[in-house]
C-alpha cells in the first residue's frame, strides 16, 4: 500500500519533510513514526498505518509535500504472510482492500503542542484494540448528519463517547463533548493560582494563621494574573546618570516646599522627562485592541504612579503631564499619593492612564521587573539611585546612577525599540534642564498654574 | 480562437459528471459541462447500467414463464422481435438523456459537446463540431469514466468480438457465444443472451465467479449460470483468438492443456480501463497510478490544486452511485464545505438472477484486515415470502462487530437484493447495531424480513430458524 500525507489540520495542506526515519527495505510496525513533517503550525511525526516493509521511498528530506501525496510504499503485513504460510493457504487473489493512510495526525499535533496535561482531562472515547480496529476501518459509529457536523466543527468523533447502543454517537453526545471542552478550557484559565495550594493542609507541619484577602488584594491578584498571563512581558534594564538632576532637586527642594508644600522628587522629574521620549516612541503610549488588531496611539499623557499603601498597591493617575509644570506635577503627585494611602482616591483619578511609573527608590530596591498595568503597554520601574564609580575619559569618576526597568508588551513593540527608548530616556534625564526645575517668579507660576487648571477642567467636562 | 471563462468545468457527463455540474450550479457556480458523446448520461445511461437493466427486465419474463410450468401455468414459446426490443430499450435511453438535458438547461449549465483536452491547469480545449473552443476555468472536475478493457490479442477488428458496449446494441443474437470474464458484466449479459437463445460458454481465469465477493453470496449465481449456460469454465484463460470465416477460433487454456473452440460471437468482459488517454493530463499536475487511474485524496482533489477527479477514472470500485457521491464531495470541498469520502458506505449490486448485493465490510475483507467479526446468515429457504415467490435461492447475512454489536457489513443474494440492500446501507451509515435492526418491525410477508430475522439470529432468537440461543447482555 501507499502511505500518503494525511490531512494535517484545518487549512494546512502542505508541509516540509524534516526527517525520514525509515529506509527502503526496512520493516516498520504499525504506529511507528516514519517521517517527521513540519507545517506552519507544528512539527509532527507521521506514523505507519500498518505493519509492513518499506518497498519504496517517494520523498526525501527537505521535500515540500501536499496532503494526499505518497510518502512511501509498503508491502503489507509480514505477520499475515507468516500466518498464511503456517495455515497452508496460498490463495490471495483479491486486491487488498484499499486502506486509507490516515493516522489521527491532527490529534498528534495537538498533543505535541499542548503537552500531556490535556490528555488526562479531555473526555476520551472508550478504548479497546478490537473496537479500534473496527473504527479504523469504519470510523466511529454516528449518523452521516452527525459526522458532517463534526467535520464542520473540526471535532474528532473518535474522542467523543457515544451514549447509544454500540457506542453510537448522537447529536447530544457531540453537544456534551463540546460543553466538556469548554468547561475544561474555562477551568484551566481560572484555576491556575490556587489549585495546588488549596489542597494542601499546611497545619500538618506546624501552626498556621489564616488571613482573608482584602478586596483590594483580590483585585490586585486578578489584575496581575490577567496581565501576566495575557501579555508577553519583556523588561529592559538600564541606568541613568542623575548626578546633575539630583543637584537640582537638592537645590530647589526647599523652594518647592515653600510653594504650596510641593515635594520635588525624582518621580515627578522623570515623569517630565518621559513626555518627549513617549512623543518620540508613541507605541509605548498606546493600547492594543485585540479584537480589531489595532494599536491605539494616544496623544495625551496621563501617567499612573504606583503607590504603596497599607492595603496594597494603588495606582492613581496624573492627567496631562505634558501640560503641567514640574512644581504643579510635584504638588499633585504628593496630594494624590496621600489620598491613595488614605483610600480616598476617586475612581476618576484611577482611570485613563497611558503609562505607569513605579518608583521603589525610596524603599531601596534595585532593578526589578514590573508588571504592565493593562491595557497600557509599558511601565517604567525606578530603583534606588546610588553613587557609583564610572570610567569617563580614562578616569574614574563619581556618578549617581538610577536603575531604569522598562517592561513592555512584546506584541506591540520589540526589544530594539525598548533599548532606544531607555537609552534616550537616560539621556533626557541626565541632561534635564535646570530651567525646567527653576521657579522663575512665584506670581507668574501661580497665574499660569491656575489658568492651566481651568483649561484642564474644561476639557474634562 | 475563442476563449470562454467559467468557474467550474466538468469533463464527462456520466452520473459523476452531470451530478457535479448540476450540484455545482445549484450551489451558485457558473458551470460548463463537456461531453464527447452525442448525448448526456455517460456509460451508465447509454452503454451500461440502464440498457443492461432494460434488457434484463425484458428477458426476465421469458425466464419466469419457463419456470412457471412446474407451478401448473404454461405459456407458448416467446416470439422475439429484436428490432422492437432494441427500439424499446433505446426509447428509455432517449427519454432519460432528454431529461438530463432539460435538467441542465433549467440550472443554466452550459453544455459543450466535444472532446476535452487540458492545455494547462487553467485551460481546457474542446474539439467541437464547430471547431476548437477554449475554456478558462477556475476549477475542473475530471469525470471521464472508464471503458471496457480489450487485451491486444483479442483486438482483431472483428465485429463478432464485442465488448459490453456492442453487446448492449443487440445487433445479433447468435447461436454460440463465448463470454470471457466471470465478473458482473459477463454474468449479466450472459443472462440476457442466454435467455434470448444463445448457447453461452463462460470462461473465467480465477477459480470463482464474481471474484472478490464472499463465496456464500456467489453460490446461487453460480448455480444459475451452470444450469442456464451451456458451460462455465473456471481457471480457464483465453490464449488466442483468430477470425475463422464467420466464426471466431478461440484457444482456451485450462490447467496447462489447450482446447480449441469455435464461436459465432465473443464478449470480452475482463475489466475496465480509465479514459485518461489524450486528455492532456501531462499539461497539468494531475498524477495517475501505474494502471492509469487518476490519484485523488479523500476530498477528490488531484495533485493539481485546480483539478478534482471523481468516478471510474479514479479507480477503486467502478460504480455510478459512487461517482455521484464523489461529485457532491468534490463540489462541497470546492465551495468550502467540509466533506470527505473517507467514511462513506458504497453499496454494490450485481443484477444477475438472483441478484447479489452487499455493502460495508465483507467477510473476506474482515479476515484480511484482521478485524474480528461475527457473521450470521439467514437462508431464504426459511422465508415465507421467498417460497411464495418460488425463490428460495437466496441468503441474507450480517457482519457484526461482536464487542459493540454494531453492523459492519450486509450481504444479500436473492431476487430483489438490489432493492433490499439500501436498508443495510442506511443501517451502517447510521451506526446501527444488530439489536436496532432486530427490534425494527419489518412487514410480513416480505423479503425484507430476512434482514430482521438475521439480526434476531445473531441473538439466537430468530422465529423461523432454530439455533441454540446465545445469552447476550
Backbone angles phi, psi at A4, to 5 degrees: -110, 165
In the prediction, which pLDDT does A213 show?
80
- What residues in B contact A141, CB-CB < 8 Å? 404, 406, 431
Q: Flag if B405 and A68 touch (Cβ within 8 Å).
A: no
Chain B residue nearest residue A96, CA to CA: B368
The answer to whether ipTM exceeds 0.90 is: no
Contact A166 B433 (CB under 8 A): yes
Mutate to test the interface with B, among A4, A63, A70, A94 (most CBs of B within 10 A): A94
Tell me what pLDDT residue A114 has: 38
What are the CA-CA distances from residue A6 to residues A45, A71, A101, A115 (Å)?
11, 10, 7, 22
| Chain B nearest C-alpha distance from A291 (Å) | 25
Three cell numbers written together for B332: 462541497
- Using a pLDDT cut of 90, give the percent of chain A over it: 35
Instruction: Check CB contact under 8 Å for A138 and B433.
Output: no
Tell me which chain B residues have a C-beta less than 8 angstroms from the C-beta of A80: 368, 370
A394 touches B: beta carbon within 8 Å: no
**Set of chain A residues whose Cβ sits within 8 Å of the Cβ of B425:** none
- Assign A71 a pLDDT band (cuts: 50, 70, 90): confident
Torsion sign, CA atoms A368, A374, A378, A383 = negative
Best residue of B371, B431, B433 to probe chain A, by most A CBs closer than 10 Å: B431
Does B361 sit within 8 Å of A138, measured CB to CB? yes
Contact B360 A138 (CB under 8 A): yes
Chain B residues in contact with chain A using a Cβ-Cβ cutoff of 8 Å: 206-207, 211-212, 295-299, 301, 303, 316, 337-340, 342-343, 360-361, 364-365, 368-372, 401-406, 408, 428-433, 435-436
Q: Share the mean pLDDT of chain A.
A: 79
Q: Determine the Cα–Cα distance for residues B185 and B176; give it in Å rounded to an integer.
A: 18
pTM of model > 0.80: no
- What's the Rg (C-alpha) of chain B? 24
pLDDT at B91: 96
Asked if the model's pLDDT at residue A144 lies above 60, the reply is yes
pLDDT tens digit sequence for A326-349: 998 999 999 999 988 887 887 788
Residues of B in contact with A97 (CB under 8 A): 365, 368-369
Q: Phi, psi at residue A76, to the nearest 5°?
A: -80, 150
Contacts of B296 in chain A (CB under 8 A): 68
Which set of grid coordinates corresponds to residue A35? 517521517
Residues of A in contact with B406 (CB under 8 A): 134, 141, 166-168
- Which pLDDT tens digit goes with each residue over B123-157? 999 999 999 999 999 999 999 999 999 998 888 88
- Cα nearest neighbour of A162 on chain B: B431
Domains of chain B: 3-147+273-334 (3.50.50.60), 152-270 (3.50.50.60), 354-458 (3.30.390.30)
Instruction: Work out the average pLDDT over A211-236.
Output: 88
pLDDT digits (tens, 9 = 90+) for A228-254: 999 999 999 999 999 999 999 999 988
Alpha-carbon separation of residue A298 from A69, A164, A276, A285, A295 (angstroms): 52, 58, 14, 6, 10
Q: Please calculate the CA angle A66-A69-A75 and round it to the nearest 5 degrees.
A: 150
Domains, chain A, in order of start with CATH, read 1-88+98-116 (2.40.50.100), 125-190 (4.10.320.10), 219-460 (3.30.559.10)
Query: Could you tell me where the beta strands, DSSP code E, fall in A212-251?
Result: 233-241
Q: Tell me the C-alpha distance between B237 and B135, whole Å.
A: 46
Using CB atoms within 10 A of its CB, is residue A179 exposed (0-12), middle (13-18) or buried (19+)? exposed
All three cell numbers of A367, joined, read 532593578
What is the structure's pLDDT at B233?
Answer: 95
Mean pLDDT of B230-250: 94
Find the mean pLDDT for residues A303-307. Answer: 95
Instruction: Name the A residues in 6-35 with CB < 8 Å from any B CB.
Output: 7
Find the length of chain A.
Answer: 461
Cross-chain Cβ contact B406/A134 below 8 Å: yes
Is the pLDDT confidence value at B202 over 60? yes
pLDDT tens, position by position, B71-100: 999 999 999 999 999 999 999 999 999 999
pLDDT of residue A115: 38
CA angle, residues B18, A66, A69, in degrees to nearest 5 = 75
B444 is catalytic: yes
Are B406 and A4 inside 8 Å of each other by CB?
Answer: no
Residue from A58, A233, A367, A410 carrying the catalytic annotation: A410
Percent pLDDT > 90 in chain B is 92
Digit-coded pLDDT (tens) for A408-439: 999 999 999 999 999 999 999 999 998 888 88
B219 CB contacts (<8 Å, ≥6 apart)?
A: B413
Amino acid at each position: 500500500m501507499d502511505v500518503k500525507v494525511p490531512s494535517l489540520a484545518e487549512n494546512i495542506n502542505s508541509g516540509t519533510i524534516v526527517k525520514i526515519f525509515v529506509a527502503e527495505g526496512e520493516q516498520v510496525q504499525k504506529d511507528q513514526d516514519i517521517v517527521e513533517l513540519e507545517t506552519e503550525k507544528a512539527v509532527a511525526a507521521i506514523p505507519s498505518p500498518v505493519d509492513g516493509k518499506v518497498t519504496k521511498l517517494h520523498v526525501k528530506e527537505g521535500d515540500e509535500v501536499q496532503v494526499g501525496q505518497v510518502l512511501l510504499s509498503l508491502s503489507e503485513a509480514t505477520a499475515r504472510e507468516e500466518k498464511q504460510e503456517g495455515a497452508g493457504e496460498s490463495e490471495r487473489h483479491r486486491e487488498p482492500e484499499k486502506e486509507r493512510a490516515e493516522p489521527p495526525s491532527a490529534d498528534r499535533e495537538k498533543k505535541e503542542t499542548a503537552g500531556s496535561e490535556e490528555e488526562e482531562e479531555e473526555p476520551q472515547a472508550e478504548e479497546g484494540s478490537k473496537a479500534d480496529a473496527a473504527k479504523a476501518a469504519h470510523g466511529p459509529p454516528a449518523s452521516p448528519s452527525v459526522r458532517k457536523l463534526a467535520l464542520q466543527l473540526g471535532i474528532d468523533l473518535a474522542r467523543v463517547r457515544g451514549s447509544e447502543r454500540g457506542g453510537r454517537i448522537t447529536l447530544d453526545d457531540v453537544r456534551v463533548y463540546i460543553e466538556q471542552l469548554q468547561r475544561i478550557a474555562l477551568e484551566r484559565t481560572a484555576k491556575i493560582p490556587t489549585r495546588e495550594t488549596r489542597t494542601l493542609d499546611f497545619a500538618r507541619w506546624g501552626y498556621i494563621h489564616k488571613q482573608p484577602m482584602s478586596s483590594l488584594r483580590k483585585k490586585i491578584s486578578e489584575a496581575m494574573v490577567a496581565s501576566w498571563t495575557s501579555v508577553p512581558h519583556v523588561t529592559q534594564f538600564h541606568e541613568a546618570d542623575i548626578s546633575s538632576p539630583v543637584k537640582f532637586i537638592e537645590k530647589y527642594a526647599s523652594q518647592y516646599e515653600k510653594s504650596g508644600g510641593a515635594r520635588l522628587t525624582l518621580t515627578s522629574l522623570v515623569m517630565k522627562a518621559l513626555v518627549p521620549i513617549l512623543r518620540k516612541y508613541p507605541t509605548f503610549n498606546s493600547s492594543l485592541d485585540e479584537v480589531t488588531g489595532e494599536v491605539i496611539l494616544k496623544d495625551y499623557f496621563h501617567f499612573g504612579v504606583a503607590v504603596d499603601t497599607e492595603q496594597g498597591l494603588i495606582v492613581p493617575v496624573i492627567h496631562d503631564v505634558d501640560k503641567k509644570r514640574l512644581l504643579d506635577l510635584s504638588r499633585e503627585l504628593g496630594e494624590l499619593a496621600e489620598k491613595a494611602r488614605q483610600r480616598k482616591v476617586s475612581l476618576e483619578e484611577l482611570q485613563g492612564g497611558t503609562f505607569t511609573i513605579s518608583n521603589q527608590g525610596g524603599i531601596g530596591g534595585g532593578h526589578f521587573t514590573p508588571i504592565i498595568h493593562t491595557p497600557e503597554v509599558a511601565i517604567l520601574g525606578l530603583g534606588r539611585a546610588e553613587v557609583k564609580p564610572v570610567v569617563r575619559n580614562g578616569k574614574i569618576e563619581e556618578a549617581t546612577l538610577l536603575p531604569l526597568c522598562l517592561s513592555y508588551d512584546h506584541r506591540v513593540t520589540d526589544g530594539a525599540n525598548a533599548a532606544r527608548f531607555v537609552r534616550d530616556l537616560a539621556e533626557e534625564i541626565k541632561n534635564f534642564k535646570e530651567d525646567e526645575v527653576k521657579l522663575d517668579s512665584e506670581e507668574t507660576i501661580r497665574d499660569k498654574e491656575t489658568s492651566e487648571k481651568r483649561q484642564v477642567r474644561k476639557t474634562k467636562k | 480562437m475563442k476563449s470562454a471563462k467559467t468557474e467550474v468545468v466538468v469533463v464527462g457527463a456520466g452520473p459523476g459528471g452531470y451530478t457535479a455540474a448540476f450540484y455545482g450550479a445549484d450551489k451558485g457556480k457558473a458551470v460548463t459541462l463537456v461531453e464527447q458523446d452525442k448525448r448526456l448520461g455517460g456509460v451508465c445511461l447509454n452503454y451500461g447500467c440502464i440498457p443492461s437493466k432494460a434488457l434484463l427486465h425484458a428477458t426476465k419474463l421469458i425466464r419466469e414463464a419457463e419456470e412457471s410450468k412446474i407451478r401448473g401455468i404454461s405459456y407458448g414459446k416467446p416470439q422475439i422481435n429484436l428490432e422492437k426490443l432494441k427500439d424499446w430499450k433505446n426509447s428509455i435511453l432517449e427519454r432519460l438523456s432528454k431529461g438530463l438535458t432539460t435538467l441542465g438547461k433549467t440550472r443554466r449549465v452550459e453544455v459543450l459537446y466535444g472532446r476535452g483536452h487540458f492545455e494547462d491547469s487553467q485551460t481546457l480545449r474542446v474539439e467541437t463540431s464547430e471547431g476548437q473552443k477554449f475554456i478558462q476555468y477556475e476549477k475542473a472536475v475530471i469525470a471521464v469514466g472508464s471503458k471496457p478493457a480489450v487485451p491486444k490479442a483479442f483486438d482483431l477488428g472483428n465485429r463478432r468480438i464485442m465488448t459490453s458496449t456492442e453487446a448492449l446494441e443487440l445487433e445479433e443474437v447468435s447461436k454460440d457465444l463465448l463470454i470471457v470474464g466471470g465478473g458482473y458484466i459477463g454474468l449479466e449479459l450472459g443472462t440476457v443472451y442466454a435467455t434470448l437463445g444463445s448457447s453461452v460458454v463462460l470462461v473465467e481465469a480465477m477459480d470463482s465467479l464474481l471474484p472478490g465477493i464472499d463465496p456464500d453470496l456467489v453460490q446461487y449465481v453460480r448455480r444459475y449460470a451452470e444450469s442456464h449456460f451451456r458451460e462455465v469454465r473456471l481457471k480457464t484463460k483465453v490464449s488466442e483468438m483468430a477470425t475463422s470465416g464467420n466464426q471466431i477460433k478461440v484457444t482456451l487454456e485450462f490447467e496447462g492443456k489447450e482446447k480449441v473452440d469455435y464461436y459465432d460471437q465473443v464478449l470480452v468482459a475482463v475489466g475496465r480501463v480509465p479514459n485518461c488517454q489524450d486528455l492532456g493530463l501531462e499539461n497539468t499536475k494531475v498524477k495517475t497510478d501505474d494502471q492509469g487511474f487518476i490519484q485523488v485524496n479523500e476530498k477528490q482533489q488531484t495533485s493539481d490544486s485546480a483539478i478534482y477527479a471523481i468516478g471510474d477514472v479514479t479507480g477503486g470500485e467502478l460504480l455510478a452511485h459512487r461517482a455521484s457521491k464523489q461529485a457532491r464531495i468534490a463540489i462541497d470541498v470546492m465551495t468550502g464545505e467540509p466533506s470527505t469520502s473517507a467514511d462513506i458506505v458504497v453499496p454494490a449490486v450485481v443484477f444477475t438472477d438472483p441478484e447479489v448485493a452487499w455493502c460495508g465490510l465483507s467477510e473476506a475483507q474482515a479476515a484480511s484486515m484482521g478485524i474480528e467479526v461475527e457473521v450470521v446468515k439467514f437462508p431464504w429457504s426459511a422465508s415465507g415470502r421467498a417460497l411464495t415467490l418460488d425463490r428460495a435461492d437466496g441468503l441474507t447475512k450480517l457482519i457484526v462487530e461482536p464487542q459493540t454489536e454494531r453492523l459492519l457489513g450486509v450481504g444479500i443474494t436473492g431476487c430483489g437484493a438490489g432493492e433490499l440492500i439500501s436498508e443495510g446501507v442506511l443501517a451502517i451509515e447510521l451506526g446501527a447495531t444488530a439489536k436496532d435492526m432486530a427490534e425494527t418491525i419489518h412487514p410480513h410477508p416480505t423479503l425484507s424480513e430476512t434482514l430482521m430475522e438475521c439480526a434476531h439470529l445473531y441473538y439466537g432468537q430468530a422465529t423461523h430458524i432454530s439455533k441454540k440461543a446465545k445469552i447476550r447482555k
